[in-house]
Structure 1
Amino acid sequence: MSSDRENPEGPENSGNPEILKDSENAEHVHPDRGTVKGSGAREGSEEPGGRPSAGEDAGESVTGRQRLIAGLWPPRVTRAQLVVALLLFGLGLGLAIQVRSNSDDNALRGARQEDLVRILDELDDRTKRLEDEKQRLDDQRTELENSSDQAEEARKQTLEKERQLGILAGTVAAQGPGITLTVNDPGRAVEADMLLDAIQELRAAGAEAIQVNGVRVVANTYFSGVDGNLEADGRKITAPYVFEVIGKPQDLEPALNIPGGVVQTLEKEQATASVTREEKIVVDALRPANRPDYARSSSQ
């Protein structure tokens, strides 16, 4: 009894004092696991089977992830990388433009010969009209510079410009060479959009003044109605629809007769369209000169 109290570790360990060491470096002999380090070596301890403990594995994983994030963010961009990125962007932009250009070229390659001829003729006509307008403006400038009475010359040009604008606005009558387009519609198949297409084709071909069945066509003219009950700017019009057009006849007539153009479209609807060149066309249907409610000249 006295020996048990003197040795608190118990009788099992009293006869083997040599295997007891400091608790921080103690080693214990286990019959199945071999020698196992004591509590002081827990950070490096292993679970059965030689695997690291769960606490050690989680600590290493978090530390590695933090090191990875710290190394990648914020990203460091060198001058060489920036130059390469700009070069790649420029290359991509160039390729996109080239693809777009090739698409336009392919569309033209697939066009019929008649369509290509029409496109070229329209481009030539528009170029010529722009050149004529430029020449006219140059002549006006020369006249103003050389005129002894520049004020009188400026007044004449102002009146001429007012007359031209009046023709475009439909407030002034006009006459000149042109064509007459007559559309007969026995089956009442002509729709409002077909008449509007005819107006657009005529304008594109250089028409300067147009009236349809006594209605002056201006910038805001519209067509409406169905089944032969058509209106132009709210006024009822009936077949035959007569377009009186002032412009260059050599440009206006081919524009209507091109394959797939106005005449051919109307014929598909069992309507008939005839074009006649005229030396003199009179467009005398007038529109009231409406004063704008809000717009004023900037010189006022």
Structure 2
Amino acid sequence: MSEHDGKTGNRLRKELPREVPAATAPPPERTPAEPQPELTGRQRLVKGLWPPRVTRAQLIFALLLFGLGFGLAVQVASNSDNDSALRGARQEDLVRILDELDDRTQRLEDEKQGLEKQRDELKNSSDQAEEARRQTVEKERQLGVLAGTVAAQGPGITMTIEDTKGTVEADMLLDAIQELRAAGAEALQVNGVRVVADTYLTDSGKSVSVDGNKINAPYRFKVIGKPQDLEPALNIPGGVVQTLEKEQATVTVERSSKIVVDALRAVERPDYARSSSQ
């Protein structure tokens, strides 16, 4: 082919019209959807709220809020009861209750300082093994006092309950023991029977049994502890002394710088429990 023919062919291609694309089929006609009935405002609100769409996180959060609200309600009710009980107390009774609370706070603070001192001694002692042995012996002695297996002496009070009418029952003496423990009693015996953590009291006719040992009035409590805490705890409004006096019993409380608690309990070997170090 000559150069002239090539130029003529290119000119003809430029002049020819482009191919017309095939006509596309028209889209199918859509069937108009049936018109939906328009919802009222109340129907839209109900449709948005029901059924509820609750996630797990929302459920847990709701349970936590419920528990918090319940706890606050119980605390408010308890405070209301305490407020109503104290509202009718005399000024000197309120002062005595406040003093007792201050004494308990101070006692806890002293115990905290003692534990911190033991910790520091273990850290700073040049012979930590010897210090540990010394503290072990001291702790064994303290536990023996609490368990009632060794005698104890120290400051405290003696409380005597005269019951000529035979109206004093075991639960009243148990309330006295619990009040004394709450006030810081460290060792206690009643009519020659040592009172420890698992002590139980029962009625036995017109007398009382302590751990199966029958005791008769007058009931004499020997208690080792801080007298300034023990005596006020028994004399608070509505406390042990007032309850016993309502039963026509006579209660006397005497402070002493030396109380001897020498009633002992036999050492019991547990049937199943063993030291984890064995």
| TM-score of the aligned structures, taking structure 1 as reference length | 0.67
Structure 2 Cα separation of the partners of residues 164 and 292 of structure 1:
20
Q: Are residue 111 (structure 1) and residue 115 (structure 2) matched?
A: no
**C-alpha distance after superposition, 1:122-151 (max 9, x if no partner):** 543443232222211111121122222111
Matches for 1:1-300 after TM superposition, within 5 Å: 89=62, 93=66, 95-113=69-87, 114=89, 120-121=98-99, 123-300=101-278
Contact 1:108/1:116, CA 8 A, preserved across alignment: no
Aligned to 1:28: none
Query: Which whole-Å CA distance do the structure 2 matches of 1:158 and 1:267 have between them?
Result: 45
User: Using a 3 Å threshold, how does the CA distance of structure 1 residues 107 and 157 change in structure 2: closer, same or farther?
Assistant: same
Letter in 1 for 2:266: P
CA distance, structure 1, for counterparts of residue 60 and residue 130 of structure 2: 61
Residue aligning to 2:7: none
Question: 1:145 and 1:225, CA in 2 relative to 1: closer, same or farther beyond 3 A?
Answer: same
Name whichever of 162-171 and 111-120 sits farther off.
111-120
Q: Higher relative contact order at CA 8 Å, sep ≥6: structure 1 or structure 2?
A: 2
SS at match of 1:279: strand
Q: Distance in 1 between matches of 2:238 and 2:51?
A: 62
Aligned CA distance change for structure 1 residues 169 and 101 (closer, same or farther; 3 Å): closer
Alignment partners' CA distance in 2, 1:100 and 1:215 = 39
- d(CA) in 1 for partners of 2:233, 2:74: 29
Segments of 5+ residues of structure 2 without an aligned counterpart are 1-46
Corresponding position of 2:11: none
Contact 1:182-1:275 at 8 Å conserved across structures: yes
* Alignment partners' CA distance in 2, 1:298 and 1:140: 23
Letter in 2 for 1:111: A
Q: Which runs of 4+ in 1 moved over 6 A?
A: 75-78, 85-88
Which ranges of structure 1 fall in alignment gaps of 5 or more residues? Answer: 1-71
**Cα distance, 1:226 vs. partner?**
4.2
The TM-score, its normalising length taken from structure 2, stands at 0.72
Distance 2:100 2:202 in 1: 29
How much identity, in percent, do the aligned residues show?
67
AA partner of residue 89 (structure 1): A
**CA distance, structure 2, for counterparts of residue 248 and residue 102 of structure 1:** 33
State the shift of 1:121 in Å. 4.7
Partner Cα separation in structure 1 for residue 51 and residue 162 of structure 2 = 76
Larger gyration radius, structure 1 or structure 2? 1
> How far apart, in 2, do the equivalents of 1:203 and 1:190 lie?
20
Letter aligned with residue 114 of structure 2:
R
- Partner SS for 1:105: helix
**Is 1:210–1:245's contact at 8 Å kept on the other side of the alignment?**
yes
RMSD between aligned residues: 2.9
C-alpha spacing 1:111/1:296, structure 2 compared with 1 (3 Å): same
| Matched residue count | 225
Residue 103 of structure 1 aligns with an amino acid whose one-letter code is: A
Mark the CA change 1:232 to 1:88 in structure 2 (over 3 Å): closer, same or farther. closer
